[in-house]
Amino acid sequence: MAETVLFDAGAPEKAFSLCRAVLLSGGVIAYPTETFYGLGADPRNPAAVKRLFEVKGRRPDQPILLLLPDVRSVADWAAEISPTAKKLMSVFWPGPLTLVFKARDSVARELTAGTGTIGLRLSGSALVADLLRFLDMTITGTSANLSGGRSPETAEMVAETIGSGIDLILDGGKTPGGRPSTVFDVSVDPPLLVRDGLVAVREIGKQVKIRI
């Protein structure tokens, strides 16, 4: 069963250090975001990514989105950053908007599921932002659930469903839940709606021309 560590906003270093140790050893953590709990693994470690798929029971044709420590990190994963993408990033990041870019050749096929694209997000969660700055790395951001199952809002829900398959749960309390992040594919022009979510499509449409 995964170890659970409580997040202390006044002294986060201990919990964050445990997260880093797990991730650098190829392990998998669960952590709270501005929507649900996510599953974090090192996206540059093929064994860690494989384990993530096994934990979730996820099909290999389903891509994995990534959460970034800063906007500059987009260039590490995206082959192209269009003016439209830059506009959406400037308006809606940090926040619950995932953008799908054409992936760099170096991005593992397991992450893209052979699509040639990669989903990226700069989280609007202060906890996630602090964690990623501490780690100084990008991590996976898929929901901490069994594929097709309910997305968890609490550390207890994570422990009950997939706690036996992961290494560490960062307990930051109950997340807001509700809707997931909105997903737009900016590898095409105009951007194409992939999933409706927290950021209203009409708000996206006020900024750039879109396809629904």
Q: What local confidence, expressed as pLDDT, does residue 126 receive? A: 96
pLDDT of residue 152: 97
Give the start-end residues of each E strand in the chain.
Answer: 3-6, 29-32, 37-40, 66-67, 97-102, 117-121, 139-140, 142-143, 168-171, 182-185, 192-195
Sign of CA dihedral 16, 18, 21, 27: negative
CB atoms within 10 A of CB 29: 27
- Domains in the chain, CATH or no CATH each: 3-207 (3.90.870.10)
Neighbours of 167 (CB within 10 A): 21
Q: What angle do CA 182, 191, 41 make, to 5 degrees?
A: 50
Q: What is the pLDDT of residue 39?
A: 98
State what percent of residues in the chain have pLDDT above 70.
100
pTM score above 0.75: yes
Q: In this predicted model, what pLDDT tens digit does every residue of 44-98 receive, in sequence order?
A: 999 999 999 999 999 999 999 999 999 999 999 999 999 999 999 999 999 999 9
Q: What is the dihedral of CA 130, 94, 79, 25, to 10 degrees?
A: 20
For 89-144, how does the pLDDT look when each residue is reduced to its tens digit (9 = 90+)? Answer: 999 999 999 999 999 999 999 999 999 999 999 999 999 999 999 999 999 999 99
Q: Whole-angstrom Cα distance, residue 6 to residue 171?
A: 5
Mean pLDDT of the chain: 96
CA distance 55 to 76: 26
Predicted local confidence at residue 110, as pLDDT: 92
Q: How confident is the model at residue 184 (pLDDT cuts 50, 70, 90)?
A: very high
